[in-house]
């Protein structure tokens, strides 16, 4: 099964991200690799929003 390396939930066609040879769900990828806002816990997109 193709699952998140952190929570082990299957992707079932949902978006996933890869880092260091492992696959992560969107939430855990951003949580582990620093792309979440510390205040609101939303993804930092880098497009000025």
In tens, the pLDDT along 1-49 reads 799 999 999 998 888 999 999 999 988 998 888 777 888 888 887 654 4
| CATH code of the domain containing 27 | 2.10.110.10
CA distance between the termini of the chain = 35
- Whether this model's pTM surpasses 0.75: no
Query: What is the C-alpha separation between 41 and 31, in angstroms, rounded?
Result: 9
User: How many structural domains compose the chain?
Assistant: 1
Which ranges constitute the DSSP H helices of the chain?
26-32
pLDDT score of 17: 92
Which structural domain, as residue segments, surrounds residue 37? 1-49
Query: What is the C-alpha separation between 2 and 24, in angstroms, rounded?
Result: 10
The HSE-up count of residue 12 (CA atoms within 13 Å, CB side) is 3
């Amino acid at each position: 099964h193709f699952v998140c390396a952190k929570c082990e939930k299957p992707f079932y066609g949902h978006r996933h991200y890869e880092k260091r040879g492992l696959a992560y769900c969107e939430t855990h990828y951003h949580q582990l690799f620093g792309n979440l806002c510390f205040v609101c816990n939303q993804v930092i997109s880098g497009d000025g929003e």
